[in-house]
Structure 1
Amino acid sequence: MAPALLKLLVLASALVAAEMGSREPSDSAERCLSEDEVEDSEERLVSIMQTELLQKGVRRFKASDKFPMRTDAVGEDEATLVAGELAEQELLAQLIRKEESLASISKDIQSNKVAVHEIMSSPHKQLSAQAQAPSSGPVDCEKYPMFCDPKVNCSQNPLTEDDRKAIGKQLATADGHVNYRTWCLAYPMYATSVQNCIVEGDVKGYAQSMFEAQKKLKLLDADAIYCFSAGHCNKTEVTDSTSLACTTEAECDSRYGHKQWTSVGWTDFMAVLARALDVGKTHQIPKEWKVTGWSSLVKLARHEADISAMTACAMGNYLCDLSYCHANYCQNPQYRERFGNLSWVYPDVWESSQ
């Protein structure tokens, strides 16, 4: 029982005793109280207690002023104790409501962080899943006809487990040429890109569709870094040739050397994505990367960009990437100001990293 309530019970008992003691003595004063009189006495005690509790409950703060406290039934100290206890209860209720509100806000923030992380990492995770296991079920040629085109032929000639292992080590064909069938690893992702670049040879259409796709995924900054780091923006002439395979191989031979780009495997590309995803999650560069300053950071960025570019060589979309970069980033003042220095004094990063 609360101390204030206990005091009220004592005071109420005293008031009853005082009330009975103040009455005029009667002839029946000496006799024992009847059962009805006892009940009447108990009822008066309860009534007095209820009245006192009600009075102490309404004597609270209103606006910034206090109601005057009556002291005819109880003293100032008792009234203060009751008001203090009620104030403490109200304060506790407010704290509980605030804690519940903070918990709700914290839950919303965590949910948003998870959502943002999913948006950033979903392309990498989906590509990784496609690389490690065959697609479930046959290719839907009606919904994704580009993956059934003879150049890619994922439906009539699906990748076998041996094919996947070989592509993991080398994306290019065994005799060192562009291998369009590697796009079966990404099915059904990048369907529009496959249609524009691989099937139709429409490099301008690819540049536009890829930009819209990457914009939705909030990956424009990442692609801008890739364009400048890979040296795509240093290329002054970009061809719109429709004979992509021959032109792509000639461009890649000139830029990287035939042996280099034909030796890159899907595993190398997935490692780049894994490292990028790791940095995106932790916002820290692992110590084992041995990044000691700006120059070493740029060197690392160019190395990763080169692997991605040589992957594009082997998969046949290198020229489409060049067009994509020039159409959307290389001449854009905003991106040039932020990332243009990544393309300065372009070294042969691949050779220097061996």
Structure 2
Amino acid sequence: MRGAKFQTYVDIPHYQHKAGYQKRSVFIGSCFTENVGNRMQALKYPVDINPFGILYNPSSVANALQALLDEKKFGAGELFQHNGIWHSFMHHGRFSSVDQAEALTQINARIAFSSNWLRQADFLFLTFGTAWIYRYKESGEVVANCHKVPASKFVRKRLSVGEIVGVYTELLARSWEQNPEIKIVFTVSPIRHWKDGAIENQRSKAALILAIDELVKRFPDKCFYFPSYEIVMDELRDYRFYAEDMLHLTEVAVDHIWSVFEENLIDAESRKTAMKIQKLVNAMQHRPVNKRSQEFAIFLNKFLKMTQELEKEYSYLNLKLEKEYFIRHLRELEQNGG
């Protein structure tokens, strides 16, 4: 007989629809979105991750989604310069540049790509981090990132459950007009926004959870909830699962959430395929003691053959980069007399 129970487990909903290698996915939202999205990308799943960069609040996520549906084209007048760098209030700093034309080119190219991807996607994963928003006083727009503009230039406000539900009820209807089959999976980031304070962070997370619950109830066949927040709060209720700042998650914690996500939201066949892909990923990360040795040549040939076999078995996989990697290193061996 087992001893005392030392952990509570979160009941995961049954998901009738599953993501996988033959399904396209879009991830938009907080850095937690990238934690999961990057895992899928590394395993060669067809995904598009944060076409506006990391976004934290539902309003900024909605603005990004709206821009993709409209296939919006940004002009010079929609950028601003601060400390010698051109920024967009709708984008994360990864889209900023000292050159205005470069920033616009990068922004518009990504929107064009992601708009097309969204119209063909099977899943849209939306992760909300906080219900708090910052509105730029001069224009009244909600900003995705303040880009170090002084706080005095903004008005801070917490979105209500009703405001979030109202915006998304209309926005999701528009999404389904363009892509009737897309399924929406909401998550709430388990990362606490400590600058809001402990109490306000909890109120913020509560607003997000209640708003998502209402949306799932309104659209039960097309909207779903993955309890990443609850998994961390209950199953990983220990500071050993947090980074040094005591707010962000360790790789061990992300591994655990990914394993639950993978088991419940990715189809069984894809999970088997991913195990083979992981071997290729590990092989590309391998650093041999002697790059000119016969052993390394055997190693490269083994995984080149595996890559070619996977391409034949799964025609929908794009393993071009992996194949080029092994071929390039084999050629280098030949040139060096290995």
Tell me, yes or no, whether TM beats 0.5: no
Higher relative strand content: 2
Question: What's the TM-score once normalised by structure 2's chain length?
Answer: 0.21
Structure with the greater alpha carbon radius of gyration: 1
Question: What's the TM-score once normalised by structure 1's chain length?
Answer: 0.20
